[in-house]
A and B are shown apart, each in its own frame.
Chain A
Amino acid sequence: MVSYKFCEKIISRIPAGTAEIVVFGEEPRPAYDRVHLSEFFAGKTADDLVMAPADWYAANDITLHLGDPVQQIDRSNKTVHSYKGITEAYDYLIIATGSSAFVPPIPGVDKKGVFIYRTIEDLELMQDYAPRAKRGVVIGGGLLGLEAAKAMLDLGIADTHVIEFAPRLMPRQIDENGSRILEQQLNQLGLVIHTNKNTSEVLGGDTITGLQFADETHLDADMLVISAGIKPRDELAKLSGLETGHRGGILVNEYMQTTDPEIYAIGECALYNGMIYGLVAPGYEMAEVVATHIYNSLAAAPIPEKTFTGFDMSTKLKLIGVDVASFGDPFAPADTCRSIVFEDTMKGVYKRISITNDGKHLLGGILIGDADAYNMLLQTAKNKVILPPNPEDVLLGARGGSQETGAGVLGLPDDAIICSCESITKGDICSAVEAGNETLGAIKKCTKAATCCGGCTPMVKDLITGTMKAQGKYIRNVICEHFAYSRQELYDLIRIKNIRAFDEALDHYGAGDGCEVCKPVVASIMASLWNDMILDKGNDTVQDSNDRFLANIQKGGTYSVVPRIPGGEITPAKLLVIAQVALKYNLYTKITGGQRIDLFGAHLDDLPNIWEELIDAGFESGHAYGKALRTVKSCVGSTWCRFGLHDSVTFAIQIEERYRGLRAPHKLKSAVSGCIRECAEAQSKDFGIIATEKGWNLYVCGNGGSKPQHAILLASDLDSATCIRYIDRFLMFYIKTADPLTRTATWLNKLDGGITYLRNVVVNDSLGIAAELEAEMQGLVDRYKCEWREVVESPELRKRFSHFVNAPGTKDPTVKFDNLREQKKAAEWK
């Protein structure tokens, strides 16, 4: 990564053709992004992680030798010799060999099933081995160790343990209390943490069976990943007579020169001032220092010189979904400062900041569970910004009274670093905005800010808006270049003008031809308002990918089909029909998370025939393809369950049939539980209902997915009719006011006044619109029609489900399947 960054920086300085650059790499692929290595198991491919493909090197006239490490440096003749026998002369040599995993000398680490976590090849070995492992263990509770543990979880090893020698996790970054909260959070995700454990032996014959600890306990395990630290790759430097440190690392001065001034070392192999810098940002800084130094020794007109003076090791990361950050001096001794601590064991949040005794400056701190304030706090500490009169405000936000806690990111000095990966200052970004780069994309392109870890994205966005406001530009939350309105404004306009087709909306309120952003927004608004057939009136081509063909497009270009199974209740006869259809059209079948059955691998041309058979048997569309109500999940309830208080299945069916086909700014999920044991998981849904002794409790704005959020109790002990009225009001209010593609949870988080305001609107009718909301919902319910039935019955609509316009009936011959457990799966894409 650091080598690539150096290449990028040097070619941007020196004119093409004036210097020849040759890169030797040991690994078989070009530089890749190790910071996001764990995403390899979360679905990213090796290609996704590549920083620049081989073509990039070629396009910039850089010779690239892969799988061919330099084995010898001949310093007197200034040449290098590679493994494959290439000899290359140099004027300047940059060593960026990085580091390898440090493997502690524990007996048995050579057994089968023991891995290290460092390169894509390591990951591929783990991937091959993981299917036969039941329990995985990681030695090392530091940053990389926890990343490795996440990788194990991603590989499907649910029983994963982490062993740490120190009394706490991440001992270099966070304190005892922070570690405790982090441990709790990780436990909830299924990781078992053992601290204060010294591994004395890896047990087993050829293959690992467990770990023995010095305290005479042991742990069974069939897979082990060692992530106990890094070891600088300095062997080439040593061999060439360059000075190295006692515990490894190539000695460098402030210009990153080794003891041979024509040889530089950068990144994790370099030892500056007794320290190895194991983060990416200091490595990039080193690359910058060397690029400047070499440029100045070649150029007639030197630029201001740069030196490396150590680097702030502040860091923020997301570990298995938990924010962890430390900045400035997180361990400032108690006698030199005061600290402010906030701890919420309910939510798993811990924040500690250290401030000077006079309360004026921030020295450093630790954030666990919620690190949104990280960038702001880091800059406040770095730039010695004067703290507000109540310093706790920087941690907690101002509570009550006046709102501002300081000028935010706009109050920072111009030389404050906003993007620490690329060293982009606030001044750089603001002048780029002033020069007309007014979108995040444009800023990324021209400054490179926010292109590496992305952590500074919110600050960059604030700077764009802030700078534009300062220039007197009016910022509006508009949909795109074609519609200068917010979604809520457009919703009202389309309703008042009774607009039924996208083209009409464009004629009245838009410009140009529309695009993939505004088309689905307008289509969704019209569906929410009128509930017309979405493929009519020329609106078919403005529907999002899945709505356009009323099915979910899957890998390879086939579709999946999900018939509605209200409340998850289905008769054996209907199960038979699904089985027959799946067999007839050769479909892969899987039970969904929402208690339905998904049929995958249907050709576009087959969709109308499949649905014709399903509809004949009494099924209807499940709207799994729409930003619409999906399922209302239910537990079995009082009809069978000995704990059930009410009949949750019947109520779930009633709810699902009421709101089926309802289109909204985003998908909607619901559930009904028959008692407080909550087997239907209603509190993770957009609206969830739980039976009580006296009626139903209604919860709203919950969310599973990438950012889970529990639903909040809106009203308790409701009778069924009132419960439905409240849901009507809640859903219509959401549909009218939410931004595009905003789930109810995010909508509530942004809603001024939060749940109290929402409760006032829905339960106390504080806006006086409850009757109107209910009437609008009833109108939508009355106009519901199964859209698949309409397609099946219309020859004109059926015609559109054809792959080739000039060869109807011919299926796409490029569609390929592989076999999987007696069924099929989509052939892997490239």
Chain B
Amino acid sequence: MSVAISTSTTIAWFYACNVNDVPNNGGVCVKYDEVQIALFRFARRDAWYATQNLCPHRQQMALSRGMTGTHNGEPKVACPFHKKTFSLEDGRCLSDDTECSLTTYPVKVEGDCVYIGIMQEA
């Protein structure tokens, strides 16, 4: 995953959960203070992604319960409500050309521990 970092920004990593808490090719919702983050695990390719949990289409806290998959190799998630799909790489909506897109977060795994990164102004 590539994250552009400017000199004035740093990433603060917080511990989200144990690797085994997340289903192999699915998602869970992580609470970070008042923020809800959807964390996805692609066990087949050993990749992790995180986005906002809120589906921007109907403002539902649901993406972590969505089905994951790929489109031409690009990882995506489908919202359980209306099956709008979003890229997990950059958060853009793949179903139509609407403006709504997701905030994405970097993820790192150390041993059995999964961490999610939050951008912070220096």
Majority DSSP secondary structure for residues of A touching B: loop
- What is the CB-to-nearest-CB distance from B112 to chain A, in angstroms, rounded to a whole number? 14
Q: Are A512 and B73 in contact (CB under 8 A)?
A: yes
For A589, list chain B residues within 8 Å (CB). Answer: none
- CB proximity to A under 8 Å, residues B38-73: 39, 42, 44-45, 58-62, 65-73
For A807, list chain B residues within 8 Å (CB). Answer: 31
For A553, list chain B residues within 8 Å (CB). Answer: 62, 65, 80-81
For A515, list chain B residues within 8 Å (CB). Answer: 67, 69-71, 76, 78
- CB proximity to B under 8 Å, residues A501-536: 503, 506, 512-516, 518-520
For A545, list chain B residues within 8 Å (CB). Answer: 65-67, 80-81
Interface-central residue, B22, B42, B60, by most chain A CB under 10 Å? B60
Q: Are A516 and B83 in contact (CB under 8 A)?
A: yes
Q: How many of chain B's residues have a CB under 8 angstroms from any CB in A?
A: 40
| Interchain CA distance A519-B42 in the complex, whole Å | 14
Q: Are A55 and B58 in contact (CB under 8 A)?
A: no
Q: Are A549 and B67 in contact (CB under 8 A)?
A: no
A542 touches which of B17, B59, B67 (Cβ 8 Å): B67
| Interchain CA distance A503-B45 in the complex, whole Å | 12
Given contacts A804-B30, A829-B58, contact A549 B78 (CB under 8 A): no
Q: Are B21 and A805 in contact (CB under 8 A)?
A: yes
Q: Are B69 and A519 in contact (CB under 8 A)?
A: yes
Q: Are A806 and B17 in contact (CB under 8 A)?
A: yes
For B67, list chain A residues within 8 Å (CB). Answer: 515-516, 519-520, 541-542, 544-545
Asked if A557 lies at the interface with its beta carbon under 8 angstroms from chain B, I say yes
Given contacts A481-B72, A538-B23, A541-B26, contact A548 B65 (CB under 8 A): yes
Smallest CB gap from B32: residue in A: A806
| Interchain CA distance A503-B99 in the complex, whole Å | 34
Smallest CB gap from B24: residue in A: A538
Asked if B11 lies at the interface with its beta carbon under 8 angstroms from chain A, I say no
Q: Are A541 and B69 in contact (CB under 8 A)?
A: no
Asked if A60 lies at the interface with its beta carbon under 8 angstroms from chain B, I say no
Given contacts A516-B69, A516-B78, A516-B83, contact A800 B16 (CB under 8 A): no
Given contacts A515-B76, A549-B65, A805-B29, contact A557 B60 (CB under 8 A): yes
Interface-central residue, A520, A553, A810, by most chain B CB under 10 Å? A553
For A359, list chain B residues within 8 Å (CB). Answer: none
Asked if B28 lies at the interface with its beta carbon under 8 angstroms from chain A, I say yes
| Interchain CA distance A830-B57 in the complex, whole Å | 8
Interface string of A777-819 (1 = CB under 8 A from B): 0000000000000000000000010011111001010110000
Q: Are B23 and A800 in contact (CB under 8 A)?
A: yes
| Interchain CA distance A805-B65 in the complex, whole Å | 12
- What is the CB-to-nearest-CB distance from B72 to chain A, in angstroms, rounded to a whole number? 7
B62 touches which of A55, A516, A519, A557 (Cβ 8 Å): A557
| Interchain CA distance A544-B79 in the complex, whole Å | 11
Asked if A156 lies at the interface with its beta carbon under 8 angstroms from chain B, I say no
Asked if B85 lies at the interface with its beta carbon under 8 angstroms from chain A, I say yes
Smallest CB gap from A556: residue in B: B60
Summed over the interface, the residue pairs from A and B with CB atoms below 8 Å come to a total of: 102
| Interchain CA distance A805-B58 in the complex, whole Å | 23
Smallest CB gap from B70: residue in A: A513
| Interchain CA distance A506-B44 in the complex, whole Å | 10
- CB proximity to B under 8 Å, residues A399-450: none
| Interchain CA distance A273-B118 in the complex, whole Å | 66
| Interchain CA distance A830-B68 in the complex, whole Å | 25
- What is the CB-to-nearest-CB distance from A480 to chain B, in angstroms, rounded to a whole number? 9
Q: How many of chain A's residues have a CB under 8 angstroms from any CB in B?
A: 37
Smallest CB gap from A55: residue in B: B99
Given contacts A481-B72, A556-B60, A810-B31, contact A540 B80 (CB under 8 A): no
Smallest CB gap from A543: residue in B: B67
Interface-central residue, A482, A519, A557, A829, by most chain B CB under 10 Å? A557
For A555, list chain B residues within 8 Å (CB). Answer: 60
| Interchain CA distance A482-B76 in the complex, whole Å | 14
| Interchain CA distance A531-B99 in the complex, whole Å | 42
For A538, list chain B residues within 8 Å (CB). Answer: 23-25
Given contacts A804-B30, A805-B16, A806-B30, contact A812 B69 (CB under 8 A): no
Q: Are A541 and B78 in contact (CB under 8 A)?
A: no
A516 touches which of B59, B72, B85 (Cβ 8 Å): B85
| Interchain CA distance A529-B71 in the complex, whole Å | 28
For A803, list chain B residues within 8 Å (CB). Answer: 29
Given contacts A541-B23, A541-B24, contact A812 B71 (CB under 8 A): no
| Interchain CA distance A800-B72 in the complex, whole Å | 30
For B106, list chain A residues within 8 Å (CB). Answer: none
Q: Are B68 and A541 in contact (CB under 8 A)?
A: yes
Asked if B117 lies at the interface with its beta carbon under 8 angstroms from chain A, I say no
- What is the CB-to-nearest-CB distance from A802 to chain B, in angstroms, rounded to a whole number? 8
For A518, list chain B residues within 8 Å (CB). Answer: 69
Given contacts A519-B69, A541-B68, A803-B29, contact A513 B44 (CB under 8 A): yes
| Interchain CA distance A55-B98 in the complex, whole Å | 11
Smallest CB gap from B60: residue in A: A557
Q: Are A804 and B73 in contact (CB under 8 A)?
A: no
- CB proximity to A under 8 Å, residues B73-92: 73, 75-76, 78, 80-81, 83, 85
For B16, list chain A residues within 8 Å (CB). Answer: 805-806
For A830, list chain B residues within 8 Å (CB). Answer: 58-59
Smallest CB gap from A502: residue in B: B25
For A512, list chain B residues within 8 Å (CB). Answer: 69-70, 73
| Interchain CA distance A548-B66 in the complex, whole Å | 9
| Interchain CA distance A514-B85 in the complex, whole Å | 13
Interface string of A346-371 (1 = CB under 8 A from B): 00000000000000000000000000
| Interchain CA distance A549-B80 in the complex, whole Å | 11
For B73, list chain A residues within 8 Å (CB). Answer: 512
| Interchain CA distance A544-B67 in the complex, whole Å | 8
- What is the CB-to-nearest-CB distance from B84 to chain A, in angstroms, rounded to a whole number? 10
For B44, list chain A residues within 8 Å (CB). Answer: 503, 506, 513
- What is the CB-to-nearest-CB distance from A45 to chain B, in angstroms, rounded to a whole number? 11
Smallest CB gap from A540: residue in B: B23
- What is the CB-to-nearest-CB distance from B122 to chain A, in angstroms, rounded to a whole number? 27
Q: Are B28 and A805 in contact (CB under 8 A)?
A: yes
B75 touches which of A481, A503, A513 (Cβ 8 Å): A513
Given contacts A519-B67, A553-B81, A804-B31, contact A513 B21 (CB under 8 A): no
Interface string of A257-284 (1 = CB under 8 A from B): 0000000000000000000000000000
Q: Are A806 and B69 in contact (CB under 8 A)?
A: no
Q: Are B65 and A513 in contact (CB under 8 A)?
A: no
For A806, list chain B residues within 8 Å (CB). Answer: 16-17, 21, 30-31
- What is the CB-to-nearest-CB distance from B79 to chain A, in angstroms, rounded to a whole number? 9
For B69, list chain A residues within 8 Å (CB). Answer: 482, 512-516, 518-519
| Interchain CA distance A549-B28 in the complex, whole Å | 13
B30 touches which of A805, A814, A815 (Cβ 8 Å): A805
- What is the CB-to-nearest-CB distance from B103 to chain A, in angstroms, rounded to a whole number? 16
Supplied contacts A545-B80, A812-B61, 19 more A-B pairs, CB within 8 Å = A55-B99, A506-B44, A512-B70, A513-B25, A513-B68, A514-B70, A515-B69, A516-B66, A538-B23, A540-B23, A544-B67, A545-B81, A553-B62, A557-B61, A803-B29, A805-B22, A807-B31, A812-B36, A815-B61
Closest 7 CB pairs of A and B: A541-B26, A515-B69, A545-B80, A516-B78, A805-B28, A513-B70, A804-B31
5 contacts between A and B (CB under 8 A): A514-B70, A516-B67, A540-B26, A542-B25, A800-B23
